[in-house]
Structure 1
Amino acid sequence: MGIQVDVVRVFTDPTGRHGNPLGIVDATQVAPPDRQRIATTLGYSETIFVDVPEAGATTATAQIFTPAAELPFAGHPTVGVAWWLTDRGLPVDTLAVPAGDVATHTTGDYTWVRAKPDWAPEFTLHCEPDTAAVAAVAATSFETGHHYVWAWAGEGTIRSRMFAPELGVPEDEATGAAAIRITDHLRRDLHITQGRGSKIVTRIVADGWIEIGGQVRRDRPVTV
């Protein structure tokens, strides 16, 4: 019997287009030593394995993997699994991941998570003169590291792309952790368009925390 993988697209635009695909796996289906292999096989920029909570629980525990490595925290998986749990009638206030406890809540169509900037990987930030220059960057420009290419696209609005070859992600469609880093760097709330047209909203809250939010849509499940 195969492993059932639910798939959602995180940080879609308001019409439900784009967004970063996320594989979501009930952790009881896969023993911890096998989770990296499953994430590599699936090939999504991240796959999250969640201990599905009992009804009425306020916390769920999860592990996050790229095709090449485990991450202590990532934005699009935590937003995506928070939405997924709510959609199943099992909303939680907190997602426990290796980096720490991620608070989550829903406002209208947006799912939000709260994290510390230092939970995210370090990104080399490349500020370009305009959005055309961002669009012109080739993924083959980067062989190592984590790179976030961005430009202003209006007041409080940026256009961005992210490349993380060392994590097995040549280019990421929408990156919550990078959104947290750029928000901390610029010290202001942001509306971000990344990749083909995915939409991420960020806001700075008290005591160094940053929230990222966006819309999520269910996609077709797969079996591995």
Structure 2
Amino acid sequence: MSPYLVYDVFTDRPFGGNQLAIFPDAEGLPQHRLQAIAAEFNFSEVTFVYPPDDLRHTARVRIFTPTMEIPFAGHPIIGTAIALVDAGFPPRMVLELGIGPIPCTVTDGRASFTTSVPLTRDATPEPSLVARVLGLTEAQIDLSVHAPVQAGLGLSFVIARLTDRAALSACQPDVAAMRDGASRHPGSFDFATLAYFVDGDGVHARMFAPLDGIPEDPATGSAAAALAALLRDVTGRPQDLTIRQGVDMGRPSLILARADAEGVTITGQAVRVMEGQLHVDA
């Protein structure tokens, strides 16, 4: 039997935010079963925690979606860091991930991590294609700040700015169009698409990755990090973003993202909602 925890991440209350299953001691799990375990939970991500390769660090963390292992994701880092502190680890830690070591700090149920991985731009998908993917008209894609771009910090997303909040609420992803996009613009995350709208000082966002078993994600820290880095890149100014995601699917989430010369910092809260035992044979 292997114990696991479930945290709701990027929220301060149960049943909001993004669900995360955490195996705080994954050494006894058979490696060939990790993907099947992640698929069994059917959350957007599951983390498996191991002793660090470098003893100066706190832990090594592997992250799986329902269909593949990924090198970096925001809500798994936030949730796993808070779970480790809840288990007695010190509030300052370094987690080893697929993109390298990530320093994290936890204070009063709120975690922050900073990544200095540079922004990469993989492609510039046509606005007409992105509109089809989101079930919108091309006129609802806002090109005033940037055109749609496939970019990320270790995990790429198609990032599209929309004209208004109504357009964001109207998104109905077209899986066939997304498959078309993935074939035209192969990336690390199957044409996963972040749509967003800026409303004053706040950002409203939705993220869709149905080709990876995630019809819609309630909170996506890696996409928030990519968005903050992209806006810093295109504006030339530091970015402090308050991102609200998951509202349209009934799991409201709050992500704080800062991008400056030091890198991108993501901050959020998490709460434990479940714990249990996994029964699995080798």
Asked if these proteins are the same fold (TM beyond 0.5), I'd say yes
The one-letter code sitting in structure 1 at the alignment partner of 2:223 is A
State the alpha-carbon separation in 2 of the partners of residues 160 and 193 from structure 1: 6
State the alpha-carbon separation in 1 of the partners of residues 161 and 93 from structure 2: 35
Q: Work out which of the residue numbers 133, 152, 170 in structure 2 matches 1:136.
A: 170
TM normalised by structure 2 equals 0.72
State the alpha-carbon separation in 2 of the partners of residues 22 and 90 from structure 1: 19
State the alpha-carbon separation in 2 of the partners of residues 108 and 85 from structure 1: 13
Greater C-alpha radius of gyration? 2
State the alpha-carbon separation in 2 of the partners of residues 148 and 168 from structure 1: 15
The one-letter code sitting in structure 1 at the alignment partner of 2:93 is D
Q: Work out which of the residue numbers 186, 191, 201 in structure 1 matches 2:242.
A: 191
Instruction: Check the 8 A contact 2:82/2:109 in 1, yes or no.
Output: no
TM normalised by structure 1 equals 0.89
After superposition, residues 64-79 of structure 1 pair within 5 angstroms as 64-79=63-78
The one-letter code sitting in structure 2 at the alignment partner of 1:219 is V
CA shift for structure 1 position 4: 2.6
- What is the SS of the residue equivalent to 1:189? strand
After superposition, residues 65-214 of structure 1 pair within 5 angstroms as 65-91=64-90, 92-115=92-115, 116=117, 117=119, 118-140=152-174, 143-144=178-179, 145-155=191-201, 157-187=202-232, 188-196=239-247, 197-207=252-262, 209-214=263-268
Q: Name whichever of 211-220 and 128-137 sits farther off.
A: 128-137
Distance 1:133 1:222, change over 3 A: farther
- What is the SS of the residue equivalent to 1:219? strand
State the alpha-carbon separation in 2 of the partners of residues 17 and 200 from structure 1: 16
Q: What is the Cα-based RMSD across aligned positions, in Å? A: 2.0
Instruction: Check the 8 A contact 2:51/2:58 in 1, yes or no.
Output: no
* 1:220 counterpart residue number: 274
Number of matched residues? 218
- What is the SS of the residue equivalent to 1:170? strand
Identity of aligned residues (%): 34
State the alpha-carbon separation in 1 of the partners of residues 153 and 71 from structure 2: 7
Q: Which runs of 5+ in 1 are unaligned?
A: none
Q: Name whichever of 178-187 and 135-144 sits farther off.
A: 135-144
**Which structure 1 residue ranges, 4+ long, deviate > 4 Å from structure 2?**
14-17
Instruction: Check the 8 A contact 2:219/2:245 in 1, yes or no.
Output: yes
Q: Name whichever of 106-115 and 146-155 sits farther off.
A: 106-115
Instruction: Check the 8 A contact 1:163/1:170 in 2, yes or no.
Output: yes
The one-letter code sitting in structure 2 at the alignment partner of 1:179 is A
